[in-house]
């Protein structure tokens, strides 16, 4: 009997060790993906806080997201350090912090540009008979936010999220022309001046000369510099600080936007960009100090 009990004790110890080993393996696996898992959990907490009107206690929040209170508190503390969450000691509840507002407001600013620009873009499409585009500067490139296609059989197509280089696109050059010289230099150092066609301006001196002409006439021209056969005309949209963070453009076949129509299309684009700038509360076209 004693031997039987001893054997059973040994087997119990073996099971305990095995269970601990299994738990360790699971912990190791969790560690390998810990960063992603923690991010997913933190985002779930933020989303839950955003959906609550008056905030949630630690217990309520942990139950809602399905995490242990200790884990929830650890994530909340990290979010609090980055100002994405805040603790209200009076109500003993957690709420969304100012950091989340700052990030969300950045998206709102971008969304508002597209929202305010679309009626103007539609009118510009009617007046010019060509496709109209809205781009923003992002990481030294121009990124498409939205487009109003014209009714022509042959037309330029740009998808939201698509990117073009600044030096060979009308929208990019329209933005570069009113940036401080040091910022232009940073863009060139980061992205270079790759030639896409034989018409691409591929030297710093040539580009700066073109930017000076753009400032003089008020609009930029992509004269088959990005794609052969395509011509685009753009003007910058300024924010409340007088900085050109976006541009509106008209694009179409070079055969339709010929030299005879260029000045007219340019004036239409400039007026459209000026209207959007005014609607957004932006400042008049001025170049920031170098």
pLDDT tens-digit map of 9-39: 434 443 443 444 444 444 434 444 456 888 9
Gap between the terminal Cα atoms of the chain: 92
226-246 pLDDT tens trace: 999 999 999 999 988 899 999
**Cβ-contact 79, 98 below 8 angstroms:** no
Which H/E stretch holds residue 271?
Answer: helix 259-279
Residue 162: φ, ψ to 5°: -70, 150
Tens digit of each residue's pLDDT (9 = 90 or more) over 85-132: 999 999 999 999 998 888 877 765 665 788 889 999 999 999 999 999
Identify the pLDDT of residue 19. Answer: 46
pLDDT digits (tens, 9 = 90+) for 191-207: 999 999 999 999 999 99
Tokens of 199: 């018409």
Is 146 in contact with 116 (CB distance < 8 Å)? no
Residues in the chain: 290
Domains of the chain (ranges; CATH) run 2-99 (1.10.10.10), 110-279 (3.30.450.40)
Residue range 122-165, pLDDT digits in tens: 999 999 999 999 999 999 999 999 999 988 876 667 777 889 99
Identify the CA nearest to 48 among candidates 101, 16, 95: 95
- Output the pLDDT for position 6: 45
Find all residues with CB under 8 Å of 117, minimum gap 6, and list them.
134, 146, 237, 248, 276
Q: How many CA atoms lie less than 13 Å away from 173 in the CB half-sphere?
A: 32
pLDDT for the residue 275: 96
**Position 216 pLDDT exceeds 80:** yes
Q: Coil, helix or strand for 205? A: helix
CA–CA dist 167, 198 (Å, integer): 14
For the chain, where are the E strands, in sequence order?
85-88, 93-96, 131-138, 141-148, 163-165, 220-223, 230-238, 244-253
Give yes or no for a contact between 127 and 104, defined as CB atoms under 8 angstroms apart: no
Look over the chain and give the mean of its residue pLDDT values, rounded to a whole number: 85
pLDDT, residue 11, reads 45
Query: What CA–CA distance (Å, rounded) separates 51 from 42?
Result: 14
């Amino acid at each position: 009997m004693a031997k039987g009990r001893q054997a059973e004790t040994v087997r119990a110890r073996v099971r305990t060790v095995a269970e601990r080993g299994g738990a360790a393996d699971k912990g190791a696996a969790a560690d390998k993906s810990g960063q992603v898992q923690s991010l997913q959990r933190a985002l779930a907490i933020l989303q839950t806080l955003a959906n609550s009107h008056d905030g949630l206690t630690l217990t309520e929040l942990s139950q809602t997201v399905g995490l242990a209170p200790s884990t929830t508190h650890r994530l909340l503390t990290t979010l609090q350090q980055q100002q994405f969450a805040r603790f209200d000691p009076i109500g003993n509840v957690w709420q969304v912090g100012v950091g989340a507002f700052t990030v969300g407001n950045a998206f709102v600013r971008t969304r508002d540009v597209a929202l305010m620009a679309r009626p103007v873009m539609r009118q510009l499409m009617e007046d010019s008979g060509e496709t109209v585009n809205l781009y923003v500067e992002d990481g030294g490139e121009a990124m498409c936010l939205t487009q109003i296609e014209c009714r022509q059989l042959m037309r330029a197509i740009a998808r939201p999220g698509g990117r073009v280089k600044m030096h060979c696109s009308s929208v990019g050059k329209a933005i570069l022309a009113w940036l401080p010289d040091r910022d232009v230099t940073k863009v060139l150092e980061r992205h270079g001046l790759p030639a896409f066609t034989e018409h691409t301006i591929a030297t710093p001196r040539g580009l700066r000369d073109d930017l000076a002409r753009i400032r003089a006439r008020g609009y930029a021209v992509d004269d088959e510099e990005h794609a052969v056969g395509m011509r685009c005309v753009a003007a910058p949209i300024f924010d409340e600080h007088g900085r050109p963070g976006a541009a509106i453009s008209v694009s179409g076949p070079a055969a339709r936007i010929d030299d005879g129509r260029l000045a007219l299309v340019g004036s239409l684009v400039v007026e459209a960009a000026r209207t959007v700038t005014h609607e957004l509360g932006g400042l008049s076209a001025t170049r920031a100090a170098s």
